[in-house]
Structure 1
Amino acid sequence: MKSQWNYSFVKYTVFLLVSLISIFLFMHSSFFYIDQITVQGAERMGSAEVIRLSGLQTGLNIFSVNGQQISQALKVHPMVQDVKVIRHWPRHLEIQVSERQAWALIPCQGGFLCIDQEGVVIDKLNIFSPDQYCIITMDKQPEQVVLGQVIDPEAIAAIRQIWEAIPVEPRVDISDYHYVNESKEVILYTNHGTEILFGDLERLADKVQSLLQIINIEKDYEKQGKSPLSYVDLRFKGQPVVKTLD
């Protein structure tokens, strides 16, 4: 009885070992060699650049691909925000890239730094359409800027919250979002030249409502031929302090 049990155990062990070896050999066979690499979402970078940075090439075993390493390699590029690597069995690999989108421009060194909503520098421009981007200025200008560098996260976060709180249509009436580094307050300038002392993010919704009223007043004044506004102070509770040029 014991001899029969030993024989069955050995038989089962040999079968299991042969099966594991067969599976291992099959996984490392040419059946799983990558013969197609596709890229999605790389509109500005281009597929060729993504594949080059990833280090991938056809002929690699699809099981040997490390998605995390590929993601880290691609995120070195300033345009890349996120990466997903998807295996389509047995031989197709897909790289999905989320590119950073230009959101604002910062005047710097005779040109403009193009940043996304996280403050990451993704480009440098000399010519642009003013209606396309939020324009940001600061008391302390960044120095020695390189692509991929993050510009003053605190300032960018504050301005982004104000920008997001303003409805889409009136945003074009704001010509400049200025950040005062020392006081950590924001000053807005309208297309009509009005200086709006916005302050910090306290009472954000109330301040935005006052801002919208100011923009409408400016337009009415222009139609009526009245003197434009000089500045408006929204920093304190109560009625805004308004001063005209005359």
Structure 2
Amino acid sequence: MEKKNVVSIEDRIPQLKEARKKKANRRLLFYLSIFFFLISMIVYFQSPLSHIKNIEVIGNEIVPEQDIISLSGLQSGSNIWLINQQAVTESITDHPMISSIEVERKLPQTVKLKVKEKNVIGFVKSNLEFHPVLENGMIVTTSNLQNKGNGPLLNNFSDEQYLQRMATELSKVPVDIFNLISEISWEPTEKNKYKILLYMNDGFIVDATIRNFSSKMKSYPSIVSQLNPNEKGIVHMGVGTYFEKID
């Protein structure tokens, strides 16, 4: 008959004690780690390391950086983890020029505000100040705006209805042609309330109408390509298209 090895309880007690000791040590280490982690977090939240030191604004071209920071309500020295992102977003997008905003924590101590401004199709001048005109025809008269856009200067648009129509048409003009327009002047007549004159960056003047302006201007590059660049004049793009030389 095969003899079996039998281990007595007395022989196993040291092994059981050692296993229990290791388990207790691991448990103690786990609780100590949690304790020191919590202490570290409390110290961190109470220390200047968790405070906002820098506020970065990117994406703005018209609205000054300081205006956006003021609207956000963010201040250096406040806790970076206590930012109410929804409140900051709502405050900044209340500005008529701001379309959207993203609030991003950039650890350790920087908050980044990514701004998207509304589409500016031009500017109007008033009291030596330039006010942006949005694609819906709204004139933004908020103070401290900077004339950094590429939009044309819109002159003599004393009637809001025609300014809105002009803004809508400009928003549909291809970018390469839009950038050629320096100024647009509303020059209504009894027969044509929609008459406008465009002063182009290439030196030509365009006699046109607000009606279907965006579609008609698409042919402008091909028209001027057939003209002598040294002969300046008026490109008529109303009922018919022709060139009138100016001596």
Q: Equivalent residue for 1:7? A: 24
Q: Equivalent residue for 2:160? A: 141
Q: How does 1:1-246 map to 2 (within 5 A)?
A: 1=16, 4=20, 7=24, 10-34=27-51, 36-40=53-57, 49-95=67-113, 103-105=121-123, 114-116=132-134, 121-123=139-141, 133-135=152-154, 141=160, 156-162=167-173, 164-166=175-177, 168-169=179-180, 171-172=181-182, 175-176=185-186, 189-190=197-198, 194-196=207-209, 199=212, 205=218, 207-209=219-221, 212=224, 216=227, 220=231, 232-233=238-239, 240=240
- Counterpart contact for 2:53–2:77, Cα < 8 Å: no
- Counterpart contact for 1:232–1:243, Cα < 8 Å: no
Q: Distance in 1 between matches of 2:142 and 2:27?
A: 70
User: CA offset at residue 133 of structure 1?
Assistant: 2.3
Name the TM-score, length of structure 1 as normaliser. 0.53
Q: Distance in 2 between matches of 1:29 and 1:88?
A: 19
The 3-state SS of whatever aligns with 1:189 is: strand
Superposed CA RMSD: 5.2
Percent identity (aligned): 14
- Cα deviations by residue, 1:12-49 (Å, 9 ceiling, x for unpaired): 54234314423431342214342634454678765554
User: CA offset at residue 61 of structure 1?
Assistant: 1.5
Structure having the higher Rg: 2
Q: Equivalent residue for 1:236? A: none
Aligned pair in 2 of structure 1 residues 98, 196: CA closer, same or farther (>3 Å)? closer
- Counterpart contact for 2:186–2:196, Cα < 8 Å: yes
Q: Distance in 1 between matches of 2:111 and 2:134?
A: 29
- Counterpart contact for 1:106–1:114, Cα < 8 Å: yes
Q: Distance in 2 between matches of 1:30 and 1:89?
A: 15
The 3-state SS of whatever aligns with 1:162 is: coil
Unaligned 5+ residue runs, structure 2?
1-15, 189-193, 200-204
The 3-state SS of whatever aligns with 2:140 is: strand
User: CA offset at residue 167 of structure 1?
Assistant: 6.5
User: CA offset at residue 80 of structure 1?
Assistant: 3.5
Aligned pair in 2 of structure 1 residues 187, 138: CA closer, same or farther (>3 Å)? same
Count, aligned residues: 208
Q: Distance in 2 between matches of 1:212 and 1:124?
A: 38
Q: Distance in 1 between matches of 2:90 and 2:27?
A: 47
